[in-house]
Structure 1
Amino acid sequence: MTERDVVEIAGLRRRFAALVYEALLLLGVLALLWLVPNLIVSLVFEVAEPGWLGWLHIFAVLGFYFLWYWRGSGQTLAMQTWRLRLVTAQEGKQVSFKRALLRYVLCWPSVLLFGGGLWWAFIDRDKQFAHDRLAGTVVVLLPGRPS
């Protein structure tokens, strides 16, 4: 993104649509990087990982996915489709690893506590999710493609 690019904060409908699409994509990611390894270990060694280790495995797999994309292009696969990018709230620049990690960790309670952090956007002055507000990030809408 250059200084000439004009961006705006992405609207709630677009961000929620991207969130639904992201959830569908994550099913494939988890199938490949969590389910398949667990099936192989179960079949070969006849042992299943304990529940807490399973959740830790999921946390790590999803963390790798999100941090890889947020640090690379600032866009996950779903965000690319919906022309969204994650940037710092103050400067509008690429997020650091530390800030991306903070956002990822804050996303979990934001989503798992009955979506409370997502509902926050309806009362936030800039319509930001709670994890974005707390992490100092914002999801922006990229300019449309020229005709």
Structure 2
Amino acid sequence: MACWLYEGMLLFGVVFIAGYLFSALTQTRHALDNRHLQQAFIFVVLGIYFTWFWHKGQTLAMKTWHIRIVDRMGRPISQARALWRYLLAWLWFWPPLALREVLDLPALEVVVLLGGWIAVWAVLARFHPDRQFWHDAWAGTRLVDTRPAPPPTRHA
């Protein structure tokens, strides 16, 4: 989860640049103009970011936390599998966001629902036989530790 939070900090820059690029290209003057089109654009940009880095094995945050993504056999994942994982990873956010659209909830309630759902989704990993997140299980991927093994100790 710490890697996930760090990834969010790095994505702030990606989303900022993507939003600026979208606004410049579409000559959008107000934040609510072209809102749904901008959200779709950022969704695609994030998809490209994650698909590219996961296909290579690690995002920048994953490198920092010594985490690599592999398939069930321990091999690097294909771009198609990375894209499938990206789409499934939206299960972390999609249910509360969908409720917001259906029920027209205020922002504070959406934030509370989102935080609660993220906690529930994270806890659900405890019920998986390998204790991995369900989107990884369904995508056929898993996260592995890439820290170097500690040197053997000598006993006197």
TM-score relative to the length of structure 1: 0.76
Aligned to 2:53: 69
Q: Which has the higher contact order (CA 8 A, sep 6+)?
A: 1
- Name the larger-Rg structure: 2
- Identical aligned residues as a percent: 38
Q: Distance in 1 between matches of 2:48 and 2:76?
A: 17
Q: Distance in 2 between matches of 1:20 and 1:104?
A: 16
Aligned to 1:128: 132
Report 1:102-121 matches (<5 A).
102-113=84-95, 114-115=117-118, 116-121=120-125
TM-score relative to the length of structure 2: 0.72
CA RMSD across the alignment: 2.2
Q: Distance in 1 between matches of 2:15 and 2:28?
A: 21
Conserved? CA contact 1:86–1:139, under 8 Å: yes
Conserved? CA contact 2:23–2:29, under 8 Å: no
Aligned to 2:13: 28
Partner of 2:76, secondary structure, is coil
Task: Give the 3 Å change call, closer, same or farther, for CA 37–141 of structure 1 in structure 2.
Answer: same
* Residues matched between the structures, number: 128
Instruction: Give 1:51 shift.
Output: 2.2
Q: Extract unaligned runs of 5+ from structure 1.
A: 1-15
Q: Distance in 2 between matches of 1:81 and 1:145?
A: 16
Conserved? CA contact 1:83–1:141, under 8 Å: yes
Q: Name the structure with the higher helix share.
A: 2
